[in-house]
Structure 1
Amino acid sequence: MGPPRERPRVGWLDALRGIAALVVVLDHSSYAFLPQFRQELMPEFNTSRYGIMVFFLVSGYIIPASLERGGSVRTFWIGRLFRVYPLWAVAVTALPALHALDLARIRPDLAQQPPATVAAAHLTMFQELLGTPNLLLVLWTLSYEMAFYLLTVALFTVGRHHRSATVAVTLAVLAAAGVAAGVTLPPSALSHALGTGPLVAIASITMATAVWCACTGRPVLRTAGGVLGGLLALVLVTGNGTVPVWEGLTILAVMFLGTAIHRAEHGQVTWRSTACATAVVLLCAVASAHAHGDGRQFTERGWLTAFLLAVLTFAAGWALRHRRTPRWLMVLGAISYSVYLLHPVMLAVTDATIGRSARDDVVLEAAFVAVLLPLSWLTHRYVETPPQRWGRALSRRLRSRGEPADDPGSTVTTDLPAGGAR
């Protein structure tokens, strides 16, 4: 018996997630096992940016749909909590445990901040935007995911969630205008101005308040919480990131562009407006990268190649969404979050034990992936999947008690999975 009719549409997202995860693994593991290959490739093609831009497009496509399908901010945050945090908790606790056993290495700059500050910053998942070093090198992208969640909820609570194309264009234009005007901020500018500890405390309290208020049944509090969370996200992205402001805004623009494509597909907006928004976002991103490139830490060619190929990859996946996806790609996509979070833990172990290769060693690279994939399958099955079931059960219980939708008119019909991009 063939798969249900909607599965190919789910399959293309799985395929994109799986491909993106493997490319990110290649990027990070190449430091240890393929240093010469990396040195030649990076100026031409920034593999890390390619993988995360594909992830961001997928997140933008599905996350708002997940919120609007349920029509409840509380249900949305429950889903995010049970989807994202369990494996995250395992990964971020595994590394210190392995470090204590002298089997892995932790970044030395983490010791420069109080443990309570580091823990609080990571619990919000905003550590990248709070001047705190990431315990795992991939966690910086989750900070932008969290900012997107808060902005998505903010738009939903004020009834502007269908304006995804407008939001994408606005963010992209602001990014390009800032570069053109020479507006620059040092990395973690707010942290230097206020102090990392106070900023982490302020952001943590603000975020907790915003989420709590947005999850209440009172319209005024819900709207106030949504707006507060959205403002927090914008302030941190523009004032305290470690990537340039233009790139932080471009990341958000790309995610909202993914949302606009989903809306056009479901008839909520016109394809013409979405095409115009896509053109503006791409043009602004190219212009921003061209103006910012310095040929050293940031190479214009490498970033642009990665960015444009990520957009083309997403477009190809969307165009082929009705075709059957190879099962191995669907499995790889299903375990992609485990692949994404576990590979830096494994790299910390290999750095502390066997060290890094002076020359390219394809055998070690292949062995690394061969261990990573089965381990990721195990954590997906036993760490990720059970909490997702618990989260869905909790949401069903809340609905059975008569919890009303925050905006019943916003619910969309979609066959996409509730799990989201990760």
Structure 2
Amino acid sequence: MNTGTTAAGLPGSRAPDTDSGPAPGAAAPRAENPPGPAGGAARLGWLDALRGFAALTVVWFHLSPVVLGPGRHLRIHHHIDLGKYGVLLFFLVSGYVIPMSLERHGSLRRFWVGRLFRVYPAYLVTVAVTGILALAGLGGVRASLRADPVTAVLAHASMLLDPLGLRGTVRVFWTLSYEMIFYLVVAGLFAWRLHRHSGWWAAGLAVVALVAGPRLPDGMFAADPAGRRVTAAVLLVAVAAVVAAGLSGRRRLAVAAGTAGIAFLILPAIDGHPTADSTVVASWQGLLLLAVMFSGTVVFRAQHGQLGRWPAALALAAVGGGTVAAHWAHLPGRTAHLVWLTTVAAVAATFAVAYAMRRRAVPRILAWLGTISYSLYLLHVVVLGQVTRLMPDLASRPAPLRVVAGGAFLLLALGVAAVSQRLVERPGQALGRRLLRALEGAPGPARSVPITTERAAPRTRRRQETRRSV
């Protein structure tokens, strides 16, 4: 995962809120923060705090070359890569929250409406902003995107940029590819009732990455322009079909689409690094990213009694150890090996501390940062680009000026993110809720593919949970 100076960030989306209740007839997971009325969901404060902290880490990762000056920021990255650290933290959060959200929905329809209207509005606005800036001469578009605009549009539509060997109009879009793959796979597992086996998926992906390693092909489908365009079109159609099946509310269609969703695991396994524009360095590293996300799911299942402590601990050890071992085995350089060791250890420790403090009150500033973290992730690099354009060679200026400029950038980036969250994200989510009400008012099942997410509950409790969810 060659994050470089522009490649780390929030992977795909701000982790979603929990939903308002389980599917009728399904026992509700034991939630430490029970569903509440605000926005139809309760916020899990410790996850907000973790997202806020990770967002600031990502911002600092991109800002540090400017504030610290040429070369000085590299001293930090000889010990820990803050870009990778932020990415892996966000992936753990997504892995924890996405299955929880899906299973509390008890409905693929609700899940996909929630995902699409949470992720796409701010994403599309960011694409539009970068396009406008480019047309105004205030930014550029990568040559590979200009060379084949059709493929670029198809890839941006599906969000599967990185396995197609493309960089987005904003480089940090690469993590969206793995978020989208995770959504598709988890939804497919849910449809097939295989979602409870998170430990096996997490450990299995890590083991495959370690054992298969360089033997996995890196560009089977998208290594050349013609193959890239065809693959981009096929992937967009496949994503649209899976989502449409989930929205249909029909069990058989959802199960059929679930097969396609699970099959998306093949994409990073054989097409993880088709070109130099891919951020992931090889297919085995793409599998490790998905293993990290499933690790978050393992924590969720262990917390709610769906997975024993020892199986969960073994799965997490397999992912952590496999991630470090795979990079030691498949990447050259002792420095890189030590950086991966310290980075993975720091991610695990940070998540463990946040989890241990999950019952404590969260500082408002961290909760607020978690709320705006998605927009902050998408837009802070755009803001930084404009700051450095207004102040060329900023990294070479005197230290006091660099610090002042860095502080001004941070305030501006937070302000832009807050505006985006209020004017783009929130209205987008509200539109999704209106669409969901319209869909569920139409003929057909109101909730698709209801699947029990806990062990069987007594009949009385099940009736109570059903009434509460309604």
TM-score (norm: length of structure 1): 0.90
- Compared CA separation, residues 387 and 23, structure 1 to 2 (3 A): same
What is the distance in 2 between the residues matched to 1:200 and 1:100? 25
Residue from 101, 108, 132 that aligns with 2:143:
108
Aligned partner of residue 44 in structure 2, secondary structure: helix
Aligned to 1:366: 407
Aligned to 2:336: 299
Aligned to 1:349: 386
TM-score (norm: length of structure 2): 0.81
Compute the displacement of 1:135 (Å): 1.3
Range that drifts further, 315-324 or 261-270: 261-270
Residue from 77, 102, 127 that aligns with 1:67:
102
Superposed, which structure 2 residues align to 1:30-69 within 5 Å?
30-34=64-68, 35-69=70-104
Aligned partner of residue 103 in structure 1, secondary structure: coil
Amino acid aligned to 2:288: T
Asked whether the equivalents of residues 188 and 259 of structure 2 are also in contact (C-alpha less than 8 Å), the reply is yes
Aligned to 2:326: 288
Please state if 1:98 is matched with 2:133.
yes
Asked whether the equivalents of residues 151 and 230 of structure 1 are also in contact (C-alpha less than 8 Å), the reply is yes
1:166-194 per-position Cα deviation (integer Å, ceiling 9, x unaligned): 11011011011123xx42544x4421256
Superposed, which structure 2 residues align to 1:315-326 within 5 Å?
315-326=352-363
Please state if 1:381 is matched with 2:422.
yes
Compute the displacement of 1:394 (Å): 2.9
Residue from 29, 35, 49 that aligns with 2:63:
29
Residue from 446, 463, 467 that aligns with 1:403:
446
What is the distance in 2 between the residues matched to 1:236 and 1:309? 25
Aligned partner of residue 394 in structure 2, secondary structure: coil
Range that drifts further, 324-333 or 205-214: 205-214
Aligned to 2:171: 137
- Compared CA separation, residues 166 and 97, structure 1 to 2 (3 A): same
**Identity of aligned pairs, percent?**
38
Aligned to 1:226: 258
Structure with the largest fraction of helix: 1
Asked whether the equivalents of residues 164 and 271 of structure 2 are also in contact (C-alpha less than 8 Å), the reply is no
Compute the displacement of 1:211 (Å): 2.1
Structure having greater relative contact order (Cα 8 Å, sep ≥ 6): 1
Residue from 196, 203, 227 that aligns with 2:228:
196
Range that drifts further, 76-85 or 392-401: 392-401
Asked whether the equivalents of residues 211 and 226 of structure 1 are also in contact (C-alpha less than 8 Å), the reply is no
Please state if 1:118 is matched with 2:152.
yes
What is the distance in 2 between the residues matched to 1:32 and 1:185? 37
Compute the displacement of 1:223 (Å): 1.1
Amino acid aligned to 1:332: L
Runs of 4+ with >6 A deviation: none
Superposed, which structure 2 residues align to 1:240-255 within 5 Å?
240-241=272-273, 242=278, 243=280, 244-255=282-293
Compute the displacement of 1:340 (Å): 0.3
1:254-278 per-position Cα deviation (integer Å, ceiling 9, x unaligned): 1111011111111111122111111
Pairwise CA RMSD: 2.3
Aligned partner of residue 228 in structure 1, secondary structure: helix
Aligned to 2:194: 160
Range that drifts further, 70-79 or 205-214: 205-214
Please state if 1:265 is matched with 2:303.
yes
Asked whether the equivalents of residues 212 and 284 of structure 2 are also in contact (C-alpha less than 8 Å), the reply is yes
Range that drifts further, 20-29 or 352-361: 352-361
What is the distance in 1 between the residues matched to 2:167 and 2:308? 42
- Compared CA separation, residues 190 and 393, structure 1 to 2 (3 A): same
Aligned to 2:117: 82
Amino acid aligned to 1:191: A
Asked whether the equivalents of residues 324 and 340 of structure 2 are also in contact (C-alpha less than 8 Å), the reply is no
Compute the displacement of 1:334 (Å): 0.6
Aligned to 2:38: none
Compute the displacement of 1:9 (Å): 7.2
Range that drifts further, 33-42 or 87-96: 33-42
Aligned to 2:237: 205
What is the distance in 1 between the residues matched to 2:317 and 2:286? 19
What is the distance in 1 between the residues matched to 2:424 and 2:249? 32
Amino acid aligned to 2:172: V
Range that drifts further, 233-242 or 116-125: 233-242
- Ranges in structure 1 where 5+ consecutive residues have no aligned partner: 414-422
What is the distance in 2 between the residues matched to 1:316 and 1:156? 29
Range that drifts further, 165-174 or 360-369: 360-369
Aligned partner of residue 267 in structure 1, secondary structure: coil
- Compared CA separation, residues 238 and 365, structure 1 to 2 (3 A): farther
What is the distance in 2 between the residues matched to 1:381 and 1:92? 18
Asked whether the equivalents of residues 178 and 246 of structure 1 are also in contact (C-alpha less than 8 Å), the reply is yes
What is the distance in 1 between the residues matched to 2:291 and 2:181? 12
Aligned partner of residue 406 in structure 1, secondary structure: coil
1:174-232 per-position Cα deviation (integer Å, ceiling 9, x unaligned): 011123xx42544x442125621111111112222222234333333211111112213
What is the distance in 2 between the residues matched to 1:267 and 1:411? 8
Aligned length: 405
What is the distance in 2 between the residues matched to 1:102 and 1:373? 24
